[in-house]
Amino acid sequence: MVLLPLVDLDPALAALRPLGGFFVLRTLLPPAGDPATAPPGPLPTLADAYEGRSSDVYGDPLIFRVRSVAAGVGAPEERVAASLAHQSLASRLWSAALGCAALYGRLPDLDPALLRWRPDASAPDDLWLTEVRPAPARDLAAAVLDAHLEPLAAALRTRHGVAPGLLRGNAGSALAGSARQLTLWARQSGRSDVAATTRALTSELFAHPLLAGTGTFTNGRFRRRSCCLYYRVPGGGLCGDCCLDALPRAPRLGDHEGTGR
């Protein structure tokens, strides 16, 4: 168990702001009547998205997000867009949670019912925490994997047919990316304590049954064992942690998902 110094959570989670947009978690909904910042209508929660509850603005928020991603990148099939949408949201959740654990020594309660989601926005305007309630940092795996990534993966498997191993790989890749960015910031800022804490927390998380075996670390570099399918996007290439060594010459549907099936 990693021992963390405890710092009180401030209402705005301001310590996350220097880390970059993916780490920032907004904690107050924008003021009503401010068109520059206010979301278009009431935002659904992530619980609504996982459970398929319809929103007046977005309909099914998760399907809306996947189709928006598909249109934005020209994905040849919704399954590719679903994978990309999943990895993006996983990165947001890992970044905010890992950043809080490393900087505050505790988490805000990340219950999906407390997190409002704007599925047509990018970080940091996509997630809004409606109430800051302290939770122990030891709950990091439960707060992200159990409360979010498992129900999110179940919804994407049901609605878009995404392979479970691919989604597990996305979760591992997102965690590794968040840890890499947090460690880089810590080194540049002279926060060796944060870098050490991030390494320890990440090591513990990758021992979790849902993340174990999703990839390997060589000289600190993570390489996943499944493909996120980004190479199928027009103009897309291989991600930095891709399991593939080169682009397939003639990709076919169902190929090159590695252990994603």
pTM confidence score: 0.88
Both tokens of 103, joined, read: 């900087």
The tens digit of pLDDT for each residue in 152-174 reads 999 999 999 999 999 999 999 99
The tens digit of pLDDT for each residue in 119-142 reads 999 999 899 999 899 999 889 999
Residue 259, Cβ neighbours under 10 Å: how many?
Answer: 17
* Exposed/middle/buried for residue 81 (C-beta within 10 Å: 0-12, 13-18, 19+): buried
Check residue 8 and give left, alpha or beta (phi > 0: left; psi -120 to 50: alpha).
beta
Section 192-218 average pLDDT: 93
In this predicted structure, what is the pLDDT of residue 261? 35
CA 20 to each of CA 15, 130, 136, 220: distance values in angstroms, whole numbers, following the listed order:
11, 21, 23, 22
- Going by the DSSP 8-state scheme, the letter that residue 55 receives in this structure is B
| pLDDT band, residue 48 (cuts 50/70/90) | very high
Section 189-216 average pLDDT: 94
**Position 109 pLDDT exceeds 70:** yes
- Going by C-alpha positions, the residue among 150, 156, 161, 166 that lies closest to residue 225 is 166
Find out whether the peptide bond into 61 is cis, omega within 30 degrees of 0.
Answer: no
Section 246-261 average pLDDT: 50
* Segment holding 93, helix H or strand E: helix 78-104
> Is the CB of residue 102 less than 8 Å from the CB of residue 47?
no
β-bridge partners, 116: 45, 128
- Going by C-alpha positions, the residue among 110, 105, 81, 80 that lies closest to residue 94 is 110
